[in-house]
Structures are given as C-alpha cells and as structure tokens.
C-alpha cells in the first residue's frame, strides 16, 4: 500500500511508524506487529502504533530514525506492507535452545539488527542467550566479523597504529588522555574513539568534551589524526560497529554485559579503527567487574581472538578495587588529567602511575621501546612536557582549549570521617551511583573529589571527600544516597 | 513537573509518552529512558519518545493505554518525573545469572509487569531466563500465586465447577465446544474462557465468534453461567491474569513458551476462574509441541502444582501427530463442531472420538460418572441431542445464532495427490502456516478442508484438501506456501 509520509520530528530511539487504525486493519497488521516500509533508498522494518485522529487514512507518521534512514521528506510516498517474522528470529531461538550458531546464522542476526529488522525485545532475547548459554570462541569470532562487516572503517593506514582500552568499572581511572598523549608523543598513531558514560559518572568522551569537541565525522577524524597522529573523540556516531551500538542499548536496560559481547564489542571497534597494537586494561578486585581469576581468563580470550584477526594484544590485569585519581565526574576528572600532564605538585600519583604502566606496555608492544627502557622513556615524555604539548595539539585540533576555566559545581558538601582509623574499602559502584545522583554526567561540573584512598589513615572529622552539585536538590539527594550506601569503610 | 495531557488516540500496545525535546532535556531523560506519570488514579512507568513539533513544551502526548489506566482526559494535568531502574530489575538479573528467586522477588517482578514498570525488553529477559535456566516447582508456584493475586477473579461458586484445557499445537482439534456442551448438559458448571489464535489458524474464541459474541464483562459472564451453567467466551480482556497476558505478548515475538510460564499461565487462569476440576489435554507426537515422554513429564508437574492449589487435575496425553477434524480455520472448524453436535452422517469421527474421551474423563474426575459408565453417558448426551441443545442455549445466551449461514471463502483450490499410496504424515505446523497464509484467523471464512488423515489410502489425482481464501492473491500465496512446505507425505 502506498502511504504519504508525515513527519512530526518524532525521535524514539528505534523505528516507529504510526498508522491510522483503519489503514492498519486494511494491511492486516495489529499494534506491535511489524511492517516493512520501502523507499527508493532502501527498506526498514518497524513496529506499528495506531491512532484514530492526527492522521488521514493514506498517511503514515514515521520517526526521524526512519525518515533519515530512507532519505524521506514530508509528503513523499512509501510502500508499506505487513512483514512476517525476521529471517534471523529462528536463529535467536536456536541460541536460546542452546545450539551453536554457524557463521551464516550469526551474520543474519547481526545484519537484521543493523537493518532494524529485529525489535529491541528480540535483541534482548539474543543478549540473554549469549549471557546464559555463552558463545564458543568460534561463534565470537563470527560475531566480530559480522559486526565489522556491517560497519564503517576508519581507514587509517599510516604509521604504527595503536590503541588502549579499559574494560571499565573503576570510578575515576581517566588514564586514556594521558596514555594517548605520552604514546603519540613517542610517535605512535592513536585514533582513539571513546564512549560516553553508560552507567558510570563519566566516559572519556564526556571528560574530553569539557574542553574540546568530540563529535566528528570519519573524514574529520582522519584529518585530525593525519595532523597530530592522535585523537580523543566520541565513537558513538561514527557507525564503526552499528550492530554493537544497538546491542549495547539493549544490554543497558538490565546492565547485562555477556562476555561474548564484551569481547566482540571491543575487538570489532579496534579492527574497524584499523588498530594493530592494543593494550587492554582489565581492572579486577572487590567492587570491580571481575575477580583476578576471571580477569586473567578474559585476557587469554582477548589474545586468542586478537591473533585470529591479526591484532597484537597485550592484556594487563590491574587493581580495580578502588577509584583511581581524585576526581569523579567530567570536569573533576579533566582537572586530574591536566594536573598529571602538567606535572603539578598536587597531581594524583595513583593515576599517573597507572597511566605510565599502560603507556610503557604499549611502547613495548609496538616495539617503540625495549623492556628495561620503556618506563624511563614514558616518564621522560611526561616530565619533559612532551606529553602535555601533544595533548594541547590534540585538543587544539579538536577545536578545544586547554586553558578553559574549569570549576566544580556551585554547591558542595564535605564528607567527614566519623572516627579515627584506616580506610579499607572505597566501593566503585557506590561511588559511581553517588556521583550520578549528584548530577553526572549531564552536569559536567558535578561529582566527587576524593582526598583519601585505601590504606589512608584518617582522624575523626578529617574531610574524606567533597560532593559537588549544580542544585541544592541534587546535592541533598547525593548526600542521602551517600548515607544509605556507605561506600567508604574505615577500620 | 506538571504537564498537560494531549490525546491523539494513540494505541501502541504498551505505554508510550511523547515529550517535547526541550521538556525531556529539562527532566534529564533521554529517548527510551523511563518516566513516571502520576495522576490521582495512580502511577505508571513509560518509555519516552521526543518530538520537536506537534507539542507545546508544557504538554505530553500519552498513548490510550496510559490515558485509560490513569483515568485521564485531554487537558488534564499529570505529574511527570524521571524514573530509575524498576525495583524488580535486579531480580530478573539474578534469574539470568541462574539464581533461584524467592516469593518476594517473583511477586515484585509480576507486580512490576502488571503496573507497567518493566519494558517489553526487560520482560523478554525474564522469559529467556525462565526458558534457559528453568524454574523450580517452588518458583512456579510463587509465579502462579503472584499472577492470580494481581488479577481479577470470576467468582463463580455454585455447582461443580469444571474446565478442560488443551496445550495446543494441533491444527483443527476444536474439541472445546463439544466437551463443554456434553459436560454442561451432564450438569457440570463450565465457565470456559478461551484465547484467540496466536500462532495457529484459529483459537476457540475465533471459532465461537463466527456465530456468537465472545467478549463480555466479568459480570455478564457470571449471568450467562448462572443461566446456562456454561459459557464459551474470550478470556483476553477479562483481566484474570494480566501479568500472563503481557508475558504472552512478549513470548509471541520469538514463539517461545517456557515450561514454567506454560504451567503458570494455564493454572493461574483456572484458579482465577474458580475451577476445581480440570482435564488437561497434552497432544504429543511428531509435529506436536511435545514428545510423549515430555508430555507425561509435563502432566506430572500439572498434577503436583494442581494439588498445591486445591485443584483436581487429570492430564491426558493424546496423539497430536496430525490435525484433528476436517476444517482448519474459524468457520471451517465451526462447521465441524456443529456437524458433530448435530450428529450429521458426514461428521469428522476423529474429532468426535477425542471430544468424547475428554468429556468422559471430566465426568469421571468430577464424580458425575463412574469409570465403566462414563463413555456411555457422554455418548448418550451427544446422540440424544442433549449436548446440541446445551450448545444452542450457550450460543443464544451469548447473543448468537446456531443457524447462521456459514460458508467457506469464495476462492478455492483443490490440492490433489501426486501419486498412489498411503498418507504417512500431515504436519501440524505447516498446515497452520498455510491456513494463515490463506487468511486465517482474520478472514474467518479462509482455511483448509482436509479429506484425508494419516493412514488414508489415496489414488493419484484424488483431492486431499481444499484451500479457501477471500482473495485470489491470498489463495495464490497459500498455494505457493503449500508447494514449498509440502505438509503431507505419501508413501
């Protein structure tokens, strides 16, 4: 049936089509069933909502996601038909039943995800099956292949292309800008794409955005990297791994992160970006994502899969049992990063130490430095100001300004020790939750500033941390959550 | 934030709220995140879509599902706030991780489903976890309890209240109207609620609807049952088990049917309807839902759970390896039912035999007849016309007419045997798919008429079946699917 497109500027995060109730009846589709919408530019599957008013019978309201995808405009015509079950739905069912999937079946699932032929609920079924029934290394490599093949490539080929990645789960821990600055100062090419916060207080992209732009097109990124041999951009809208981006949207709903998808997500993005040498930081320990045993097992899988795809991978199991750095939140973390790069006296030494470790390992992996010499080289690049200069170049090429005045949010509250003792635990998940309650990441100046780390001795009434918020309401909420969660244990 | 309700008559099958982009930003919610909407009548969680035009910043478009639930009208104000993760989301995560859930956790999940606090994708996670990690009998009984407690009760208490249920999966197999007519003629009270077709060609409700109304309120059903001690109505909108209705909507997407949910779904509805004696038909065999071994194991679980809830249950494992009756599709099946009840010469004897078996077992279970006598009693009620008279009473009380002229659809196509031989297989799933391609269940006069069953001898060019369709296009499509699926094997 030919229907006329009506645009309302509707954004739904997924394809949505609204039909007149009578039109839906004619097409023999019911609400929540699928239709296929075709234009000259392609086809897309959408679930159907129906409406009694608002629309004429020969019209269809399409969400902006569909309008962009099919290159439509108000008043254009599309061909609309009832659509049956997606081609790959039986394969998801097979995975739920515990069967191993072939290359073709995994390819079909990923391709249906990218072309919007599966609903979010069907993707949730796939994620649950990956999680509970696990996937073999063979299946994971098919998954990586399919994700890469349905995405764009960054297409950077000059120089020694390297990257670093952290599995996350540790509050603060903003090593990326420091490692990238040191290693690109050493001559490596690092086209670093990062994410925004999903469940944490800040992602690297949120932190960089406090002083520079992070959203660029693939071509712009290529120019930046050509000029300064590194970048610190947001990877979200580049389409390097669109299937993975959609799967992550569904994983978020229940904070699930199946190992197969974690491996595929990270490796597919490195392959699409053209990286050949990759350091992966796997923080382990209490309140981190993994135990040390799990972390080592995961590391082995990264290496095995890396080999299959011609990547040199070095995984490093690090201590992730407490936050790293002092600031938690976009601006507070950027202040930490700058103070390390500028070698301020009051810089957070735990953050510096970890960044140097990762930079050292990356210099070794790429052959830029030999084992006994690498730490010296990395430290010299940091001390001499070479890394700081490189950071300034990167920020400038991303239309930013390292001298931008950055201040924590207006309202603050000191949290004091209730007794004398030694700090024995600072829980990452709880710290993240409190920083989010304070307004992170949407208020970039909100967050926490930690004065203490594990093993610090404290006296009663010493300030342990400060909470910053844009409004008194959020400050109160964060304080209340702090009291309820009690993230810091003193013994 | 207070927002003014705008109604567009939007039906989405789930709660949908559309905010102006700027309003969403103020609330700090992004598309696909949750908001809580409150009126004097209650609160509901909805995912957010945003729009640039259409709306003023102080307005909110709500889907009809929400407007009804919160008893709103155009122009009324609602309180809207960002909402975090649902209370029961961590419990779903626990079930995905393989843990056993407590009574309180299952209750929280079911209550969040009923009050729309979980998205369809989160329900999909729960269904997948039920399917893959299975549930213990203890968990299933908590599930039944929670589903019953969040639904309405039919509240019929007079007489011996009995019911029959078939697990489905067999094409045709329209025993329910016949069993209900025989047994209520014998004096049992049978408040039978049935479903519409989900993946099959017709549900009992679709079949009854060809000659009578099937949608009634709880009060109307009580009146009907009081008058004629039985009914044959649609259970879908009664709210006897609203949690289960929503879960089924999600199961449909991938045609998944976890055993735990199957048990809970059937038993909760029987408990809510007040039935005390229930016969459950479990069709087994090739192209049925279960093997005979699985069917027997399932039967035991029904009995064990039934005891916990004070139900007398008798499960009967039947041969479900081929369609039962001649007609497949609402009108064609109703013609079969009427011909059995009227004892026409050309009635389908397989359907009659199975109906008598089930009726016999129900008469025995309720103590209405003793073992050696029950088949005789049931047969007599059928032969004497008592069952037919009871059926007429039921249909009349449901504003129907047993004399309504019923004809198969206008366009038809004979399918002939390609060679001499004996029919060795008629595949239920394929037959259902072909009947649906022909237009079932939305075209009630579409479907198949089978002249043969397994073990029938055929000669080349004998007509095996006829396909009926409302349009030539659907007829051609069904014929094409018939050729592709080849549902009938001749040896």
Q: Which of A1, A6, A7, A8 to mutate to test the interface with B (most CBs of B within 10 A)?
A: A8
CA of B7 to nearest chain A CA: how many angstroms apart?
9
CA–CA separation, B290 vs A363, rounded Å? Answer: 60
Determine, for residues B124 and A121 on separate chains, whether the beta-carbon distance falls below 8 Å. Answer: yes
Query: Which residue among A163, A206, A257, A445 is the active-site one?
Result: A257
Give the relative orientation of helices B120-133 and B259-273 as an angle to the nearest 10 degrees: 110
CA–CA separation, B84 vs B16, rounded Å? Answer: 17
Q: Using CB atoms and an 8 Å cut-off, which of residues 79-138 of chain B contact chain A?
A: 89, 92-93, 96, 98, 119-125, 127-129, 131-133
Is the separation of the CB atoms in A286 and A294 below 8 Å? Answer: no
DSSP string, B401-449: -TT------SEEEEEE-SSSEEEEEE-HHHHHHHHHHTTTTTSTT-EEE
Is the separation of the CB atoms in B1 and B52 below 8 Å? Answer: no
pLDDT at B10: 86
The tokens describing A167, both together, are 């599995």
Give the relative orientation of helices A103-114 and A137-149 as an angle to the nearest 10 degrees: 40
Q: Which of A51, A93, A121 sits opposite B9 (nearest CB)?
A: A51
Tell me the residue length of chain B: 491
- The mean-pLDDT minimum among A228-242, B20-34, B234-248 falls in B20-34
pLDDT tens across the length of chain A (491 residues): 899 999 888 887 677 899 998 888 777 777 767 888 999 988 888 888 888 877 899 999 998 888 988 999 999 999 998 887 889 999 999 999 999 999 999 999 999 999 878 888 899 999 999 999 999 999 999 999 999 999 999 988 889 999 999 998 999 999 999 999 999 999 999 999 998 887 789 999 999 999 999 999 999 999 999 999 999 999 987 889 999 988 988 888 888 889 999 999 999 999 999 999 999 999 999 989 999 999 999 999 999 999 999 999 999 999 999 999 999 999 999 999 999 999 999 999 999 999 999 999 999 999 999 999 999 999 999 999 999 999 999 999 999 999 999 999 999 999 999 999 999 999 999 999 999 989 898 889 999 999 999 999 999 999 999 999 998 988 998 999 999 999 999 99
Q: CA-nearest residue of chain B to A49?
A: B12
Mean pLDDT, chain A, as a whole number?
Answer: 93
CA–CA separation, B129 vs A89, rounded Å? Answer: 17
Q: CA-nearest residue of chain B to A63?
A: B51
Q: CA-nearest residue of chain B to A27?
A: B442
The owner of tokens 């080289």 is A377
Q: Which of B32, B132, B133 sits opposite A13 (nearest CB)?
A: B32
pLDDT tens per residue across span B12-22: 767 789 999 88
CA of A139 to nearest chain B CA: how many angstroms apart?
19
B356 has pLDDT over 90: yes
Q: Which of A10, A132, A250 sits opposite B49 (nearest CB)?
A: A10
The tokens describing A409, both together, are 């949010």
Q: What share of chain A is helix, strand, coil (3-state, %, to 5)?
A: 40, 20, 35
Q: Which residues of B touch A8 (CB under 8 A)?
A: 51-54
The owner of tokens 């993975």 is A244
CA of B173 to nearest chain A CA: how many angstroms apart?
25
CA–CA separation, A364 vs B77, rounded Å? Answer: 63
Determine, for residues B96 and A125 on separate chains, whether the beta-carbon distance falls below 8 Å. Answer: no
Complex-level ipTM: 0.84
Is the separation of the CB atoms in B394 and B184 below 8 Å? Answer: yes
> Quick one: how far is CA B383 from the chain centroid?
30
Q: Which residues of B touch A119 (CB under 8 A)?
A: 120, 253
pLDDT at A1: 85
> Quick one: how far is CA A378 from the chain centroid?
27
CA–CA separation, B45 vs B37, rounded Å? Answer: 6
CA–CA separation, B45 vs A250, rounded Å? Answer: 18
Q: Is B375 in a helix, a strand, or coil?
A: helix
pLDDT at B27: 79
CA–CA separation, B243 vs B106, rounded Å? Answer: 12
pLDDT at B266: 95
pLDDT at A333: 98
CA of A185 to nearest chain B CA: how many angstroms apart?
38
Give the relative orientation of helices A349-365 and A330-341 as an angle to the nearest 10 degrees: 70
Contact status of A349 with chain B (Cβ, < 8 Å): no
CA distances from A454 to A320, A425, A463, B437 (A): 12, 6, 15, 67
Q: Using CB atoms within 10 A of its CB, is residue B41 exposed (0-12), middle (13-18) or buried (19+)?
A: exposed
pLDDT at B237: 78
Determine, for residues B11 and A49 on separate chains, whether the beta-carbon distance falls below 8 Å. Answer: yes
Q: Is A80 in a helix, a strand, or coil?
A: strand
CB-based contacts of A407, cutoff 8 Å, min separation 6: A331, A445
Q: Using CB atoms and an 8 Å cut-off, which of residues 366-405 of chain A contact chain B?
A: none
Q: CA-nearest residue of chain B to A437?
A: B84
Determine which helix (DSSP H) or strand (DSSP E) holds B89, and give its type and residue range.
helix B89-96
pLDDT tens per residue across span B207-227: 999 999 999 999 999 999 999
CA–CA separation, B448 vs B432, rounded Å? Answer: 9
Give the relative orientation of helices A242-253 and A137-149 as an angle to the nearest 10 degrees: 120
CA–CA separation, A53 vs B6, rounded Å? Answer: 12
Q: What is the pTM of this model?
A: 0.86
Query: Which residue among B163, B206, B244, B257 is the active-site one?
Result: B257
CA–CA separation, A316 vs A358, rounded Å? Answer: 8
Contact status of B51 with chain A (Cβ, < 8 Å): yes
Q: How many CB atoms lie within 10 A of CB A415?
A: 19
Determine, for residues A124 and B122 on separate chains, whether the beta-carbon distance falls below 8 Å. Answer: yes
Q: CA-nearest residue of chain A to B437?
A: A84
pLDDT at B28: 72
Pairing of strands A190-194, A59-62: unpaired
Q: Is B12 in a helix, a strand, or coil?
A: coil
CA–CA separation, A377 vs A363, rounded Å? Answer: 9
CB pairs under 8 A between A and B: 135
CA of A392 to nearest chain B CA: how many angstroms apart?
32
> Catalytic annotation on B257?
yes
Q: Which of A1, A6, A10, A53 to mutate to test the interface with B (most CBs of B within 10 A)?
A: A10
Q: Which residues of B touch A13 (CB under 8 A)?
A: 30-32, 49
Q: Which of B8, B14, B442 sits opposite A51 (nearest CB)?
A: B8
Would residue B383 be called left, alpha or beta, if left means φ above 0 and alpha means ψ between -120 and 50 degrees? alpha
B30 has pLDDT over 80: no
CA of A410 to nearest chain B CA: how many angstroms apart?
19
DSSP B237: T
């Amino acid at each position: 049936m030919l229907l006329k497109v009506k645009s309302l500027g509707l954004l739904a995060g997924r394809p949505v089509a609204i039909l007149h109730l009578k039109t839906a009846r004619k097409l023999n589709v019911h609400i929540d069933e699928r239709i296929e919408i075709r234009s000259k530019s392609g086809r897309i599957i959408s679930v159907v909502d129906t409406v009694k008013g608002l629309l004429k019978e020969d019209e269809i309201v399409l969400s902006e996601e569909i309008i962009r995808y099919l290159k439509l405009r108000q008043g254009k015509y599309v061909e609309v038909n009832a659509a049956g079950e997606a081609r790959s739905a039986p394969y998801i069912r097979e995975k739920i039943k515990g069967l191993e999937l072939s290359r073709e079946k995994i390819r079909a699932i990923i391709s249906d995800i990218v072309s919007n032929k599966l609903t979010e609920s069907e993707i949730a079924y796939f994620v649950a099956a990956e999680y509970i029934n696990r996937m073999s290394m063979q299946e994971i490599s098919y998954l990586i292949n399919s994700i890469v093949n349905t995405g764009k490539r960054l297409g950077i080929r000059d120089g020694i292309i390297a990257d670093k990645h952290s599995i996350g789960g540790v509050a603060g821990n903003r090593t990326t800008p420091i490692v990238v600055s040191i290693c690109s100062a050493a001559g490596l090419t690092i086209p670093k794409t990062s994410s925004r916060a999903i469940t944490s207080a800040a992602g690297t992209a949120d932190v960089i955005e406090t002083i520079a732009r992070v959203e660029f097109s693939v071509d712009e990124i290529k120019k930046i990297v050509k000029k300064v041999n590194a970048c610190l951009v947001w990877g979200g809208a580049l389409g390097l791994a669109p299937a993975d981006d959609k799967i992550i949207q569904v994983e978020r709903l229940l904070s699930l992160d199946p190992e197969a998808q974690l491996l595929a997500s990270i490796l597919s993005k490195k392959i699409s970006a053209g990286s050949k040498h990759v350091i992966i930081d796997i923080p382990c320990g209490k309140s981190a994502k993994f135990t040390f045993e799990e972390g080592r097992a995961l590391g082995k899988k990264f290496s095995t899969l890396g080999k299959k795809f011609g990547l040199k991978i070095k995984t490093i199991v690090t201590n992730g049992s407490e936050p790293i750095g002092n600031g938690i939140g976009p601006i507070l973390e950027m202040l930490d990063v700058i103070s390390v790069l500028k070698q301020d006296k009051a810089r957070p030494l735990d953050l510096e130490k970890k960044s140097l470790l990762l930079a050292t390992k990356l210099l070794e992996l790429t052959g830029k430095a030999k084992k006994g010499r690498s730490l010296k080289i990395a430290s010299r690049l940091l001390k001499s100001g070479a890394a700081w200069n490189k950071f300034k170049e990167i920020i400038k090429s991303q239309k930013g300004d390292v001298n931008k005045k950055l201040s924590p949010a207006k309202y603050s509250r000191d949290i004091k020790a209730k007794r004398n003792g030694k700090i024995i635990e600072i829980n990452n998940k709880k710290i993240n939750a409190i920083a989010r309650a304070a307004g992170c990441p949407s208020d970039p100046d909100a967050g926490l500033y930690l004065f203490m780390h594990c093993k610090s001795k404290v006296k009663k009434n010493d300030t342990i941390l400060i909470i910053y918020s844009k409004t008194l309401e959020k400050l109160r909420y964060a304080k209340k959550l702090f009291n309820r969660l009690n993230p810091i244990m003193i013994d």
